[in-house]
Structures are given as structure tokens and as C-alpha cells.
Structure 1
Amino acid sequence: MTGRLRRLKQLLAGGWSRTALALPFLALVLIMALDWFSKTEVTVEPALTSAPALAAVVCRRTWYPLLIGGITLLCAFLMAAYNGVLADSVHTASVLAIVLVTLIGWVSAVLRMRQERALADARLVAEIAQRVLLRSVPERVGTVRAAVHYAAAAAHARIGGDLYEVVNTRHGVRAVVGDVRGKGLGAVETAAAVLGAFREAAHQEHELDRVAAWLADSLDRSLRENGHDLLGEEFVTLVLIGVRPDGVAEMVNCGHPAPVLLRDGEPVRLLEPVTPVPPLGVLPPEAVRPPVRRMAIRPGDRILLYTDGMIEARDSAGRFYPLLERLPGCAQAGGPVEVLERLHLDVVRHVGRQLGDDAAMLLLQYEPVTLPEQLPRPNGHIPQRN
């Protein structure tokens, strides 16, 4: 359905673009018809300046205002000859006004094209930066199926202060979702430091709390190197989750919204931390030793990690988005990608406009892969490894 709506919008946009190109010609026809059928001695020749003005607005081609300006000048001379005012000052003033408006339209079209090219280059840079900083998550990572959805609050931006990552390590699948305080380049810079540290620590550290300590140390060093330590207010909320090969999920929460567990036949529930821990950057790195929550998970269990841009989204009446109430309906069918798409659309409908904050969602669905040597033989026995 989403693809059909997108194609419909593209068709409508193309139709409007072709219609808009005809507006200057329509204006010329109407003005000349008005002059032809007018019974008064008042000339409407100055109104011809509206045609090149419209051309500068409706078209992004630099030659179009010049074309319409030339046609308009021809119409002005024909109109003046018909009315017998070629030598009058009103005709001279009209010609000068048409030339001036045409030149202004041409200059504005040139400047607009330069701005659009600069914006396109900026979007390309942002897309490349996103691929480096926020890499795409494969559909399957080890024993889980994964999907991510990210929307930056800044207009035309593709990256912001929210961060996510999923990696497959010898300790199992490990993931992080976090939120950097603030927006802009400073938040992106901090997010890059945290993600770089996670991608290394997730493979090196055996315990998840040690991964959090590694991130705290890297964050502190990054803030000091960039001069943010003088503010004393820079911090990052995040939640770490690990799915071990034996089907045990481990979670570390540092001041972040609690993940949500979806299990068939049970109501959704928050996975609150064992003990509340402040965000990274509040305590000295050596004091960061968050407790690890462990729980057994079953095949088909889904864990949703998200940032506060989701739960703090308000509608026109100021009501927060009720995630726990709306999530079951969005997660009734489909894989992780479809669930996150429905959830995002539901949040946008709740707000009624673009989200005012960065919003990231990561959904992990536990689906362990059965190895060929573990499949049962016809006699019902499972071969054992030597």
C-alpha cells in the first residue's frame, strides 16, 4: 500500500509540474483576450509582466524565464500596435518592466538551481555519513532477525543524535540503542565516538557491564578532546542487549527507556533495569559498573529497543504516544521490518506531523538456526558431536 501511495504522489507531482509550465502562457492568453474585448481606453499591457514572473516561479530551468520573457515582449508589441500606442510612454514603461522582470526571474532561477545543487550535495554527504556512522542492519544477525527504523528530526537530515548498532560476536549477538543529549554536529560527533567504541568493545569484552564501562571511558575521552568537558552536561543514555548462544538475553540500561518484550500469548512488558543507573557521562568512567539483567528467551520472542523520540511524541492535545497500548496491534503479523514500519506510521498519525525529535527503533526477534548436524535422523536420534 505504501508503494502505491508513493507512485500516486509521483504521478500527481508530474502532472502538476506540466500544468504549472502552462500557467505563463495561460496568463498571456487571458491578458490579451481582456485587452481585445475591453471596451475602455485603458490598456492592460503592464499586466503582461505577470507572465515572466510566473515563469521564474513554476520552472527550475534557467532558460524558461528568458523564453517566456521573449514571447511576452512580442505580445506587448502586438498589443501596442493593435491599440496604436507604440510611441506612448505606457508602452515603453511596459517593455522596460517586462525586461526587468525577465532578468530578475532568470537570476532567481540561476540562484535556485545553485542552491538545489548544493542541497543535493549535502544530502549525498549526509547519506554517505549515515552509511558510515549508522550502518544498515542485516535481516539476520546470528540467532536473531533484526530490523531498524530511524528518523532524524532536522529537516532534510538523515543522521542525528540517536544511535544504534547490531553485531555478531563470539559472545553472541550484541546490540545498542542510545540517545545523545542535544542535536546537530556535536551530537553526531558524540554518537560516532560511542558507536566506534561499541563496535570494538562488543567483540573484546566478555561481560556486558564491561562493555558499558568501555563506552563510558571512550565517551569521556571524546568529550575532553572536543572541549565538551567544560559544560559538564553532556551525556548519553543507552541500553545494551546481548543474546547469548544458549538463549539467555543480557541487558544493561544506563538511563535509557526500558526495552519492551513481546511474547506470544503474554501481554507486552517493559524490561526494567535491576537498579537505575544514570546515563554515561554523568559518573566518572571508573564508577560505571551497571548491573546486568539476565533472562531466558524463547524462539519467536521479540525485544523492541527505542529512543525517547517515540514515547515523548505528543498529539495536538499534548498526550504522549501510548507505546505499550499500540504496540500489540502493530506487531500482530509480519516480520521485524513490517512491524517497525507500522509502528512508525502509527506514531506519525498520533502526532499529526513530522516528529519533533530524533526517533530510532530496533527490533530483535530470537530465531535460533538449527544446524544440519542437529537435525533428527529417521530413527529419531540426534547425532552427537565428537
Structure 2
Amino acid sequence: MTGRLRRLKQLLAGGWSRTALALPFLALVMIVALDLTSKSEVTVEPALTSAPALAAVVCRRTWYPLLVGGVTVVCAFGMAAYNGVLTESVHTASVLAVVLVTVIGWISAVLRMRQERALADARLVAEIAQRVLLRSIPDRVGSVRAAVHYAAAAAHARIGGDLYEVVNTRHGVRAVVGDVRGKGLGAVETAAAVLGAFREAAHQEQALDRVAGWLADSLDRSLRENGHDRLGEEFVTLVMIGVRPDGIAEIVNCGHPAPVLLRGGEPVRLLEPLSPVPPLGVLPPESVRPPVRCTAFLPGDRVLLYTDGVIEARDGRGRFYPLLDRLPGCARTGGPGEVLDRVHEDVVRHVGRQLGDDAAMLLLQYEPVVVPEQLPRPNGHVPQRG
């Protein structure tokens, strides 16, 4: 249904574009017809300036205002000849006004084209930066199926202060979702430092709490190297989850919203930390050793990691988005990617406008891979390794 609506919108947009191109010429026809049928001695020739003005608005091509302006000048001379005012000042003023509006429209089209090219280049740079910083997540990572949805608050932006990553290590699948305080380039730099440290520490450290300490040390070093004076006010909230090969999920939370566990027909459950821990950047790096919460996963279990841009999204009455109430309905059917799409659409409907904060969601579904050698043979025996 969504694909059909998208195609319908594209068709309507294309039809409106073609109709808009005809508006200046329709205006010319109406003005000329009005002048020919009018019995008044007052000429409507000055109204012809509306045609090149419309041309500058409805079309982004630089040649279109010149074309409409040329046709308008021809119409002006025709109307003046019909009315017998070729030598009068009203005709001269009308032609000069048409030429002036045409030139202004052409200049506006040229400037708009330059701005659009600059914006396209900026979007390309942002897309490249996103691919480097926030890499795409494969559908399957080790023993889990994964999907991510990220929406930046800034218009036309692809990246912001939220971060996410999923890696497959010898210790199991490990994922992180975080939120950098602030926005802009500084937040992106901090997110890059934290993500780079996670991608390295997740493979090197066996204990998940030591990974958090590694990230805290990397964050502190990055803030000092970038010349942040208020080190105590720069922080990152994040939650990490590691799914071990035996199906035990380890969760470390540093001041971040708790993940949500979805298990079959059971009510959704928040995986709260064992004890509250401040965000990274508040404590000295050597003091960051958050407790590790362990939860046994069953096949089909889903866990949602998200940033506060989701749960703090407000509607027109100031009410927060009720994630725990709406998530079961969004997660009834479909894979992780479809679930996140429905949640995002539901958040946007709740807010009624563009989100005011970056919002990232990561959904992991535990589906352990069955090794072929462990499958039972027809006689019921399991082959043994030699």
C-alpha cells in the first residue's frame, strides 16, 4: 500500500508540474482576451508583467522566463497595435516593465539553480559521511536479525548526534545505541569518536563493562583534543547489548533509555539497569565500570534499542509518545525493518510534524543459526564430531 501511495504522489506531482508550466501562457491568453473583449478605453497591457513573474516561480529552468518574456513582448506589441497606442507612453512603460521582470526572473532562476546544486553537493557529502560514520546494518549479524531506522531532526540532514552500530565478534553479537548531547558538527565529531572506539573495543574486550570504560576513555581524549573547555558538560548516553553464543544477552546502560523486550504474546518489558549509571563523560574514565545485566534470550525474542528522540516526541498537547503502549501493535507482523518503519510512521502521526530531535531505533531479533552437523538424522541420531 505504501508503494502505491508513493507512486500516486509522484504521478500527481508530475501532473502538477506540467500544469504549472502552462500557467504563464494561460495568464497571457486571459489578459489578451480581456483586452480584446473590453469596451473600455483603458488598456490592460500593464497586466502582462504577471506572465514572466509567474514563469520565474513555476519553473526552475533558466530559459523558461526568457521564453515567456519574449512571448509576452510580442503580445504587448500586438495589443498596442490593435488599440492604436504604439507611440504612447503606456505601451513603452509596459514593454520596459515586461523586460525588467523577465530579467529579474532569469536572474532568480540562475541563483536558484546554483543554490540547488550547492544543496545537492551538501547532501552528497552528508550521504558519504553517513556511510562512513553510520554504516548500513545487514539483515543478519551472527545469531540475530537486525534493522535500524534513523531520522535526523535537521532539515535535509542525514546524520546528527545519535549513533548506532552492530558488530559480530568472537564474544558474540554486540550492538550500541547512543545519543550525544547537543547538535551540529561537534555532536557528529563526538559520535564518530565513540563509534570508532566501540568498533575496536567490541572485538578486543571480553567483558562488556570494560568496553564501556574504553568508550569513556576515547570520549575524554576526543573532547580534550577538540578543545572542549566544558568537559563536564559534554556527555554521551548509550546502551550496549551483547548476545553471547549461548543465547545470554548482556546489557550495559550508561544513562540511556532502557531497551524494550518483546517476547511472544507476553507484555513488553523494559530491561532496566541493575543500578543507575551516569552518561559517559560525567565520571572520570577510570571510574566507568557499569553493572552488566544478563537476560536469557529465547528464539524469536526481540529487543528494541532507541534514543530519547522517540519517547520524547510530543503531540500538539505536549503528550509524549507512548512507546510501550504502541509497540506491540506495530510489532505484530513483519520483520525487524517493517516493524521499525511502522513505529516511525506512528511517531510521526503522533507528533503531526517533523520530529524536533534526532531519533534512532535498532531492533534485534534472536534467531540462532543451527549448524548442519547438529541436525538430527532420519534415524534420530545426532552425528558426533570425531
TM-score when normalising by structure 1: 0.99
Matched residues, number: 386
Per-residue deviation, residues 76-113 of structure 1 (Å, max 9, x unmatched): 00000000000000000001101100000000000000
1:231 Cα deviation (Å)?
5.1
Q: Which amino acid aligns with 2:289?
A: R
The answer on whether the counterparts of 2:231 and 2:281 sit within 8 Å (CA) in structure 1 is no
Q: Which amino acid aligns with 2:133?
A: L
1:354 is the counterpart of 2:354: yes
Equivalent in the alignment of 2:379: 379
1:229 Cα deviation (Å)?
3.8
Query: Residue 39 of structure 1: SS of its match in structure 2?
Result: coil
Q: How does 1:1-386 map to 2 (within 5 A)?
A: 1-230=1-230, 232-386=232-386
Q: Which amino acid aligns with 2:326?
A: R
Q: Which ranges of structure 1 fall in alignment gaps of 5 or more residues? A: none
Identity percentage of aligned residues? 88
Per-residue deviation, residues 315-370 of structure 1 (Å, max 9, x unmatched): 11111000000000000011101110111111111111111100000000000010
Distance 2:302 2:239 in 1: 16
Query: Residue 261 of structure 1: SS of its match in structure 2?
Result: strand
The answer on whether the counterparts of 2:223 and 2:231 sit within 8 Å (CA) in structure 1 is no
Please report the RMSD computed on the Cα atoms of aligned residues, expressed in angstroms.
Answer: 0.7
1:214 Cα deviation (Å)?
0.2
1:378 Cα deviation (Å)?
1.4
Q: Which ranges of structure 2 fall in alignment gaps of 5 or more residues? A: none
Query: Residue 22 of structure 1: SS of its match in structure 2?
Result: helix
1:140 Cα deviation (Å)?
0.2
Per-residue deviation, residues 192-225 of structure 1 (Å, max 9, x unmatched): 0000000000000000000000000000000001
Per-residue deviation, residues 55-89 of structure 1 (Å, max 9, x unmatched): 00000100000000000000000000000000000
Greater shift in the superposed pair: 252-261 or 31-40: 31-40
1:35 Cα deviation (Å)?
0.5
- Go from structure 1 to structure 2 and tell me whether the alpha carbon gap of 1:372 and 1:141 turns closer, same or farther (over 3 Å shift): same
Query: Residue 380 of structure 1: SS of its match in structure 2?
Result: coil
Q: Which amino acid aligns with 1:57?
A: V
Distance 1:230 1:167 in 2: 32
Distance 1:34 1:134 in 2: 60
Distance 2:229 2:171 in 1: 33
Distance 2:153 2:372 in 1: 46
Query: Residue 233 of structure 2: SS of its match in structure 1?
Result: coil
Per-residue deviation, residues 243-296 of structure 1 (Å, max 9, x unmatched): 000010000000000000000131101000001000000001011010000111
Distance 1:265 1:53 in 2: 62
1:11 Cα deviation (Å)?
0.6
Which segments of structure 1 move beyond 3 Å, counting only runs of 4 or more? none
TM-score when normalising by structure 2: 0.99
